[in-house]
Chains A and B, each alone.
Chain A
């Protein structure tokens, strides 16, 4: 499989990475471990997780995905061959989608992106993952109020008093110097946040952000507006999450369908199901049909071939689906298909920010 590097580090990752958000909940433990092993057999060397997984988020399952991965790592002895990424949660957002509606159960809600939180985050992750280092460690979302999830435009909150990015970076840098972390990244970030990290690194000689993990798919291409230029000019490439827009780009939810057992049937989420998103999904589905490919394959091929991308993080509920998703991600689109996608994007841009 094609290999890329994380920013200006020497860490190499496969073009397709395994997203693990559903491991341990929708995908039961034994199946999850089979999936991890299968991913490695298929040439995936990059596994992305977070202390707060699995989704949907609840107090009783906090850390379960990392625990599972940790067990699997010690059972298989694969740790040194893999690039392992995890994330530390930030301040509880105002709106949490899911059964608990809150993240205040994590460290009693004391999850500002400050030194104490980052240290508590990494210590917990290392313990659960049964490893003494993380290859890529990321604040899961910014400490400040910004337009990271579901909001297309930035709306300023003058009352917000965020932890300075310089402080977060200093704490991350410390973890690198202690050997607990090899590289650092940001997630759900905006151009302003990323630029502050880069400036602070340069000025204070601190570890440089290597990657940015943001949502990127046919319904959400906001990365291209302001961040793709950073990816190219600053070597901070994209780790794309939700390349299938939570499964919406499989087409299975078209016309209001909610198939039994499917993710959005079990756990409804508004991010990719607005009216405009449904219209765009239908248009992409028709385009794929016209070209004799599946919508999911087209969607995954589109994400994986972007020049600013380092790795596309796929998640699958079965081994067969995982195989299909890997194959689709490694298949370049035809010029006709690209032109068709461009036309739909011009008509309905970013319906699922």
Chain B
């Protein structure tokens, strides 16, 4: 984990991998979570991504903030806060966030301030390195929807207003850099344009889903990454575990993510067909399918940092090893063939 990349034009240099914490407090209990975080930090994965909403799946009032509290206790026990990078996210307006701030989650000044204060309190820190909008305020097609469908507007908070509130948090020292998540080209552009016009903080990154099954980022956003220095923080490189091959032929291994919490995102017939093709390709090249999936995502030139997760130390070790594993030209050509044949079955 020696080669760090600058996160956009911010002052933050991130390692190629970032530890995702979404399941801490749901699938992963606290002691294990702390073990995994210590292992990650020791191995150079000193970048942790969380969200006020976590744990997930199934966020609810009772679990709200639990993951951040767990991380806070680990930070307190470990100390040396300044050696670590902590990213978190403020939720947006959605049916499944009705339990947060009595459902007042439009991305306006009040929401952003309440969210950062809450996150800082739970994390037991006086700043976060990266503060992200978990999803846009407006209706869009960033999650589980390939094409944009225009909806009668729900009067979204103007992006300039959201940005101004984020900028204020940076100036107060509560936040070092700001980022977007589950965003589209239009949203990224509007944030960049507002920064330039109004002289406000610039977004440093976009955190979107990216995996062999979900590469729609490349269609419109990769060009922004390169030309505007707004790189990707890719999440779910294993597509909720599908790309490890453990769910092949409809298998549902006990205790695993999709067995316990079924999810439609990566399990459509087209996604299963593509998954089988990638699993077979990896095996034909003598590779573990999960390692191929991580190696592929981590090697993308627009990727600043790839979010890895795992419930076992061995999974984490595997992902860390895979991230620096070179893929042969032949293997990459094989991946492109499958992609051409069955592109973006998931979003």
Contact = CB atoms under 8 A, between A and B. Distances in A.
Partners in one complex: yes
Contacts of A156: 222-223, 226, 301-302
B322 to A, nearest CB: 22
Contact of A192 (B150, B185, B193, B216): B185
Contact of A228 (B150, B216, B302): B150
Interface stretch (A116-124, A128-136, A146-154, A291-299): A146-154
A345 B345 CA distance: 9
Interface in A134-171: 146-147, 152-156
B73 interface: no
Contact of A274 (B185, B218, B340): B340
A347 B186 contact: no
The winner among B148, B215, B226 for most chain A CB atoms within 10 A is B148
B343 to A, nearest CB: 6
Given A153-B215, A225-B148, A232-B150, A192 B186 contact: no
Interface residues of A, number: 39
A147 B342 contact: no
A271 to B, nearest CB: 13
A224 B148 contact: yes
B277 to A, nearest CB: 12
Given A156-B302, A226-B185, A348 B146 contact: no
Interface string B330-347: 000000000111111100
Interface string B205-231: 000000000011011111110111000
Given A152-B218, A224-B147, A346-B270, A229 B186 contact: yes
A203 B269 CA distance: 47
Interface string A224-256: 111111101110000000000000000000000
A199 interface: yes
Contact of A191 (B220, B269, B342): B220
Interface of B: 140-141, 146-150, 184-186, 189, 193, 196-197, 215-216, 218-224, 226-228, 268-270, 301-302, 339-345
Nearest to B337: A275
A5 interface: no
Nearest to B228: A192
B303 to A, nearest CB: 12
A225 B220 contact: yes
Contacts of B186: 191, 195, 226, 229-230, 233-234
Nearest to B224: A192
B21 to A, nearest CB: 29
A229 B141 contact: yes
Contacts of B223: 146-147, 154, 156, 190-192
29 contacts: A152-B343, A154-B218, A154-B219, A154-B222, A156-B223, A156-B226, A190-B223, A191-B186, A191-B189, A192-B228, A195-B186, A202-B193, A221-B147, A222-B219, A224-B141, A225-B220, A227-B220, A229-B140, A229-B150, A230-B185, A232-B148, A232-B150, A233-B186, A234-B186, A307-B150, A346-B270, A347-B270, A349-B345, A351-B343
The 5 closest A-B pairs by CB, nearest first: A226-B220, A153-B218, A224-B147, A191-B185, A195-B189
A308 interface: yes
Contacts of B149: 228
A345 B268 CA distance: 12
A345 B343 CA distance: 11
Given A156-B301, A191-B185, A195-B185, A348 B342 contact: yes
A347 B215 CA distance: 15
A187 interface: no
A234 B222 CA distance: 21
Contacts of B227: 192
B186 to A, nearest CB: 4
B35 to A, nearest CB: 38
B127 to A, nearest CB: 31
A340 to B, nearest CB: 15
Contacts of A227: 185, 220
A282 interface: no
Nearest to A193: B223
A154 B222 CA distance: 6
A225 B219 contact: yes
A224 B220 CA distance: 10
A207 interface: no
A189 B220 CA distance: 10
A334 to B, nearest CB: 19
